[in-house]
A = this chain, B = another copy of it.
């Protein structure tokens, strides 16, 4: 995997994105290598050429890709929570995003499938949450310099995680709406 020509890199990318979409649509448990092969017009040997350790290796790349997306889709707001209007725009974006995907949460599905035992998976997930947390904490410091930014960020990230979990479990978006809205509101009235 050290020498990767542009063509090879493109193929690898095509596999990751194709697999990600497939998994998003059908769930990781219902997607086999043959499905991915068919959806990405590749051959078995290509799959194992670019992911020598097999399926787990591939799912790992998919997970990293999805984790990246989660944060990317919150931009440009997440990196610039410097005013209340930015906070509100961010909140709306987050809620809209989850409302759109409904129960299909790629990350929770993937981590459940891969298992947190794998340190590589764990690294991806904790890394994502760390970055997310830091962005939010930075935002808190920007609008409420006297607040305990770490604690508030923990509360807010927790509210989102809970909202997402309840959305998956019960198909009810209100947990996210209420949790996130109230958390921001209580910060505003601090």
| Residues of A bordering B, CB below 8 Å | 27, 29-30, 103, 108-109, 111-113, 115-116, 125-126, 129, 151, 154-155, 157-166, 168-171, 174-176, 178-179, 182, 186
In-complex Cβ contact of A163 among B115, B162, B176 (8 A): B162
Shortest CB distance A156–B (Å): 9
Complex partner residue of A165 from B109, B126, B161, B176, CB under 8 angstroms: B161
Nearest Cβ on chain B to A15's Cβ, whole angstroms: 23
Cβ contacts under 8 Å, A126 to chain B: 169-170
In the bound complex, residues from chain B placing their C-beta under 8 Å from that of A160 are 162
Min CB–CB distance A32 → chain B (angstroms): 15
